[in-house]
Amino acid sequence: MAKSLQDSSSKRHFHWTNKVGNEDDHGHDDHALPSLPKAVSDEEKRKDTPHKAIQLQRRKLQAAAISRLRSVLTAFGKNRGGLPLGLGSRVVGTLFGSKKGHVHFALQRDPNSHPAFLIELATPISGLVKEMASGLVRIALECDKEKEDQEKKKTMESKSSKSGSAVRRLLEEPVWRTYCNGKKSGFASRRECGPKEWKVLKAVEPISMGAGVLPCGDEGEDGELMYMRAKFERVVGSRDSEAFYMMNPDSNGAPELSIYLLRV
C-alpha cells in the first residue's frame, strides 16, 4: 500500500513536471522574439531617393523666394535719390526764408529725415506772415497734367505696370501755380535740399512747433531768417490731390494754415 502511494505520488510528480515542460514548450512557441529592424533593400532606397530630392528642392526654392522678397522690400524702402518713398499721415512742415526773401516750404517724414518735398514760393515771407496774422491761410499749389493722346497715355500706363515703374508722383512735380487765399501769387518751383536748406532744418530740428527768427548771416542782408514749424496732417484724395493741414492745439478746430497740392 505504501509502495502504491509512492508510485502514484511519483506519477503525479512526473506528470506535473511533464505538464510544466509542455507548457514551457508551448509558451516558447507562442511568444515570438523581438523583431529586429527591417533591412532596407536597394530598391526601397531607390524609391525613397526621389522623394527626398523633391523635398530638398522645395526647401531651396522657398529659401530663394524669401531671399528675393527681402531684397525687393529693401529696394522699395528707398527711391532713386535715397529719399523716403512716401510720407505718412502725420508729417513735419517747415516754412522759412529771409525777411526780404521768398518762402521755402519743406515736408519731412521725421524731424531728422531728409525732406521729401521742398519748394520755393514766389510769395515773400513777410507777406505770408501778414496773411497769417489776419486769419486763416489757404495755399493752393496747382500743376498741369502732361498733355498726351489717349492712346499714348494707355501705352505708357501699360508699360509702367509691366515694368513696375509708376507715373511721376505728385510731390515730384517741378513747377506749381500758387494761390494764397484765392489770389494768384506767382509760381513755385521744386528745390533740392542743399547745404543751406539742410542747415536751417537741422537748426530747427529740436523744435516740434513754433515760430521765430534764426541768426544766419548768409541768409539775407539783415542776417536773420524767419521760420515757422509745425506738424501737419496729410490727407491723400487721389494720385492727383493731397492736402496738408497744420495741427495747432491752440486753435478751435480749424487749422491756421492749409496747403493743397492739385494736378489738373
Same-domain check for residues 143 and 71? no
Per the structure, the complete domain to which residue 241 belongs is given by 90-263
Within 13 Å of residue 77, how many CA atoms lie on the same side as its CB? 6
209: in domain: yes
Rounded to whole angstroms, the Cα distance separating 24 from 60 reads 59
Per the domain annotation, does 223 fall within a domain? Answer: yes
Residues 182 and 106 in one domain: yes
Residue at 42 is within a domain: no
CA distance 107 to 119: 9
3-state helix, strand, coil in the chain (%, to 5): 40, 30, 30
Shared domain for 214 and 104, answered yes or no, is: yes
112 and 152 co-located in one domain: yes
Query: E-assigned strands of 100-182?
Result: 102-108, 117-124, 137-143, 175-180
**Per-residue tens of pLDDT for the chain, all 264 residues:** 445 544 554 444 444 444 444 444 444 444 444 454 455 555 555 555 667 777 777 787 777 766 655 554 444 344 333 344 468 899 999 999 988 889 999 999 999 999 999 999 998 888 888 888 888 899 999 999 876 544 455 555 555 445 444 578 999 999 999 999 999 999 999 999 999 999 999 999 999 898 899 886 554 455 689 999 999 999 999 999 999 999 876 656 567 899 999 999
Q: Is residue 37 a part of any domain in this protein?
A: no
Q: Please indicate, yes or no, if residue 231 is contained in any of the structural domains.
A: yes
Query: Based on the structure, what is the number of domains in the chain?
Result: 2
- Do 141 and 262 form a contact (C-beta atoms < 8 A)? yes
What element of type H or E holds 91? strand 90-98
- Tell me whether residue 226 is in a domain: yes
